[in-house]
């Protein structure tokens, strides 16, 4: 899946300005951004609902949205807002979904997903909670084992147990070779399950790379215990908690800081990677 220099305005309103990324086989890319950043706009182009003003969105080398018909059987999509047919029972919806894929769906996988997710087949859609609607959306996106998975904030509304089951399911699809776009504003989940990331802000990708790379380009947290007089360390950013000094040091300044630290007297130290949340906040200041 390739997105290159994608731009889309809604009249005068900016949707996205310049979005590029690529997702390979066996890869999950986390598209991270706050509300209104342009995640859904990007996804709506890739899923065939919107035309871009500039740039290309390619799935299997086909241009979206223009050639969506030739690839849509290979796409699984979880929309941000799940609105299926309100008066349909879930089991009727699953019949309908099977007919869409010309009954090529593996019924045993469908049963497995119903069991894993705990889906109630006899309820009408309008009677389902947000989380239970999401479970049906997950099932319909995965059940035909698509090569491409496009997931717009898929865990929104799911309880932590179902979230974990969902992560396991998409990891399995990834192992089988799927190409997965996972949009989220929950950085801890991106850190947990994605291989690569693209951070979007005001319609522009501001940073991208591997999840590990993201941590590397940022900073370390240095926990220093029992630090004695150290006025020469005051030039570094730090906070204190009980008897611990926590320094936030850019990786590029690490050697210099450690050299300075060795000139002071302390009992112990720990070096930690900050959570993705902290990196995100830093970038969005």
Pattern of binders to ligand ATP over 65-94, x per CB under 6 A? ---------------x--------------
Stretch that binds ligand ATP, among 18-26, 36-44, 119-127, 158-166 (CB under 6 A): 36-44
**Binders in 13-32 for ligand ATP, by CB under 6 A:** 13, 15
Is residue 155 within the footprint of ligand ATP (CB under 6 A)?
A: no
Closest CA to 52 of 43, 30, 69: 43
Min dist. Cβ of residue 47 to ligand ATP (A): 12
Min dist. Cβ of residue 203 to ligand ATP (A): 7
Residue of 17, 32, 39, 142 interacting with ligand ATP (CB under 6 A): 39
| Tokens 């491409």 -> residue | 148
CA 151 – CA 153 distance, rounded (Å): 6
CA 254 – CA 139 distance, rounded (Å): 47
- Total residues contacting ligand ATP by CB under 6 A comes to 13
Name which of 8 and 219 has its Cβ closer to ligand ATP: 8
- Residue 198: is it exposed, middle or buried by C-beta count within 10 angstroms (0-12/13-18/19+)? buried
Dihedral (CA of 112, 118, 124, 129) sign: negative
Residue of 1, 17, 30, 41 interacting with ligand ATP (CB under 6 A): 41
CA 139 – CA 269 distance, rounded (Å): 47
Name which of 238 and 280 has its Cβ closer to ligand ATP: 280
Name which of 203 and 224 has its Cβ closer to ligand ATP: 203
User: Contact positions toward ligand ATP, by CB under 6 A?
Assistant: 10, 13, 15, 33, 35-41, 80, 185
């Amino acid at each position: 899946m390739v997105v290159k220099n994608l731009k889309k305005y809604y009249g005068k309103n900016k949707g996205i300005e310049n979005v590029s990324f690529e997702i390979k086989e066996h890869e999950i890319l986390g598209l991270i951004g706050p509300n209104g950043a342009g995640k859904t706009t990007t996804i709506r182009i890739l899923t065939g609902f919107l035309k871009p003003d500039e740039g290309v969105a390619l799935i299997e080398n086909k241009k979206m949205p223009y050639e969506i018909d030739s690839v849509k059987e290979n796409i699984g999509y979880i929309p941000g807002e799940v609105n299926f047919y309100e008066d349909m029972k879930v089991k009727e919806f699953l019949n309908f979904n099977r007919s869409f894929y010309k009954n090529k769906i593996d019924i045993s996988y469908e049963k497995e997903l119903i069991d894993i997710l705990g889906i109630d087949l006899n309820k009408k859609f309008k009677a389902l909670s947000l989380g239970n609607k999401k479970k049906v959306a997950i099932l319909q996106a995965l059940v035909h084992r698509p090569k491409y998975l496009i997931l717009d904030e898929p865990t929104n509304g799911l309880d932590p147990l179902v979230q974990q089951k969902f992560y396991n399911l998409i990891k399995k699809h990834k192992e089988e070779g799927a190409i997965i776009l996972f949009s989220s504003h929950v950085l801890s989940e991106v850190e947990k399950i994605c291989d690569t990331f693209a951070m979007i802000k005001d319609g522009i990708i501001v940073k991208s790379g591997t999840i590990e790379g993201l941590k590397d380009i940022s900073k370390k947290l240095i926990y220093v215990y029992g630090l004695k007089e150290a006025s020469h360390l005051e030039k570094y950013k730090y906070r204190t908690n009980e008897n611990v000094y926590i320094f936030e040091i850019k990786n590029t300044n690490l050697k210099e800081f450690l050299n300075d630290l060795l000139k002071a007297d302390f009992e112990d130290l720990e070096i930690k990677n900050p959570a993705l949340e902290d990196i995100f906040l830093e970038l969005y200041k």
